[in-house]
Homo-oligomer: A and B are copies of this chain.
Amino acid sequence: MSKPLNIGLVGYGFMGRTHSNAYRKVNNFFELEYHPVLKAVCARDQAKCQAFADTWGYESTETDWRKLVERKDIDAIDICTPNNLHKDIALAAAANGKMILCEKPLSMNTAEGEEMAAAVEKAGVANTVWYNYRRVPAVTLAKQIIDSGRLGKIFHYRANFLQDWTISADLPQGGAALWRLDAAVAGSGVTGDLLAHCIDTALWLNGGISTVNAMTETFIKERKHTLTGKVEKVSIDDACAFMCRFDNGSLGLFESTRYARGHKALYTLEINGENGSLKWDLHDLHRLQFFDYKDEGILRGWRSIHVSDSDHPYMKHWWVPGLQIGYEHTFVHQVADFLQSLSDKKPCSPTFRESIETQKVVDAVLGSAKSNLWSSV
């Protein structure tokens, strides 16, 4: 019989749903020593919290996360709150010896991230950050190909995360649904929300970034604030682009915006090496594009790999070749890997410590956009 791992979830928003679904499904598809138990969910609004608990089968509810992190029957705290609460919850959870699974971005800034990493290390508790796109099978396959050396020396890396959902000037900012538009709560706009994903994957696939040079823009300068009811200045970045240099000598180019009409959640990445290239995008996440220069000349072309075979990463746990999985499965994979890491007594990447690197790049990007200068990471 597998061992229970009692989960205490903080926050019941979009991420609360993706994580809950992952906890519930993981043992149906992966053979693991541990199985998550949905012990408690915590949110300030008791009625909504209870409704969420009922839907997902949480055994209990809390309205104060300080109580939750102190509960003896909880093994791991899952932080799905807005970004400005990550640090306090994580520090308290660590102090109470809880494992922590924290939504991305880790923190509001590097300094907070350092505190958080120090706390979990001091407490000696397992920790991970939900940069779920690493665990899209096609992205994991990209990692395998890159690590095999098959691409040779890398020259270029580029990534975009394009959305279009904030184009209307009538959209308000702030509050439970739209805290991502409120810099005081989110830290930043697309940089911390979307580019953080791109940066995490880039660091994982292509190594460290040394310097960045960024530009940001806020297209809609004022929006009504949901909480105050008043029209207030918008402080987040609606769009951000940056150039960078990686430690391996390659050049990087990143862009994110919520004003690219026609793109819903188009995270795309591409890497160009001496002997091959890879491309991927989130709108068809089950495919990886691969160009292999070592193919016979007249037969070279970008291969569209339908990543659904049993020997593709994670896929033996799902269906049969040709039958695609989707977005939610990336979270199941992360839970599976986290549980396996407990058995293996190894860290589950990215850890808090590792995710500070993403935070550093985010900070450098925002700094460069302000200073109009190249900024070291």
Which residues in A have some Cβ–Cβ distance to B below 8 Å?
14, 18, 20-21, 24-25, 27-28, 55-56, 141, 144-145, 151, 155-156, 158, 162-165, 167, 213-215, 217, 219, 239, 241-243, 245, 249, 251, 253, 255, 257, 259-266, 272-277, 282-293, 295, 297-306, 308-309, 311-312, 318-329, 372-374
Q: How far is the CB of A10 from chain B (nearest CB, A)?
A: 19
Q: Write the chain B residue with the least CB distance to A319.
A: B327
Pair B309/A219 contact, Cβ less than 8 Å: no
Pair A293/B261 contact, Cβ less than 8 Å: yes
Can you list 19 A-B pairs with a CB-CB distance of less than 8 A? A21-B25, A145-B299, A155-B219, A155-B260, A158-B255, A162-B272, A219-B249, A243-B243, A259-B272, A261-B274, A263-B322, A264-B322, A283-B306, A283-B322, A285-B324, A302-B304, A303-B303, A323-B327, A373-B373
Q: How far is the CB of A274 from chain B (nearest CB, A)?
A: 6
Q: Write the chain B residue with the least CB distance to A153.
A: B219
| Residue numbers in B under 8 Å from A145 (CB-CB) | 299
| Residue numbers in B under 8 Å from A163 (CB-CB) | 322
Q: How far is the CB of A50 from chain B (nearest CB, A)?
A: 13
A297 to B151, alpha carbons, bound, how many Å? 17
Copies in the complex: 4
Pair A18/B266 contact, Cβ less than 8 Å: no
| Residue numbers in B under 8 Å from A158 (CB-CB) | 255
Pair A324/B283 contact, Cβ less than 8 Å: yes
| Residue numbers in B under 8 Å from A260 (CB-CB) | 155-156, 272, 277
Q: A155-B260, A323-B327, A324-B326 are in contact. List 17 more A-B contacts (CB 8 A).
A: A21-B28, A144-B298, A155-B261, A213-B372, A241-B243, A260-B272, A262-B272, A262-B276, A263-B277, A264-B323, A286-B324, A297-B309, A300-B305, A301-B305, A302-B304, A304-B304, A325-B327
Pair B298/A309 contact, Cβ less than 8 Å: yes
| Residue numbers in B under 8 Å from A295 (CB-CB) | 303
Q: Write the chain B residue with the least CB distance to A275.
A: B261
| Residue numbers in B under 8 Å from A323 (CB-CB) | 264-265, 282, 326-327
Closest 5 pairs (CB-CB, A-B): A265-B322, A264-B322, A262-B291, A301-B303, A301-B305
Q: Write the chain B residue with the least CB distance to A292.
A: B299
A251 to B328, alpha carbons, bound, how many Å? 33
Q: How far is the CB of A214 from chain B (nearest CB, A)?
A: 8
Which one of B167, B301, B309 lies within 8 Å of A306 (CB-CB)?
B301
Pair B262/A302 contact, Cβ less than 8 Å: yes
Q: How far is the CB of A335 from chain B (nearest CB, A)?
A: 15
Pair A290/B285 contact, Cβ less than 8 Å: no
Q: How far is the CB of A14 from chain B (nearest CB, A)?
A: 7
Pair A257/B156 contact, Cβ less than 8 Å: yes
A241 to B329, alpha carbons, bound, how many Å? 35
Pair B274/A167 contact, Cβ less than 8 Å: yes
| Residue numbers in B under 8 Å from A261 (CB-CB) | 151, 155, 272-277, 291, 293
Pair A327/B324 contact, Cβ less than 8 Å: yes
Which one of B18, B156, B304, B312 lies within 8 Å of A239 (CB-CB)?
B156
| Residue numbers in B under 8 Å from A284 (CB-CB) | 284, 287, 324
Q: How far is the CB of A272 from chain B (nearest CB, A)?
A: 4
| Residue numbers in B under 8 Å from A275 (CB-CB) | 261
Q: How far is the CB of A240 from chain B (nearest CB, A)?
A: 9
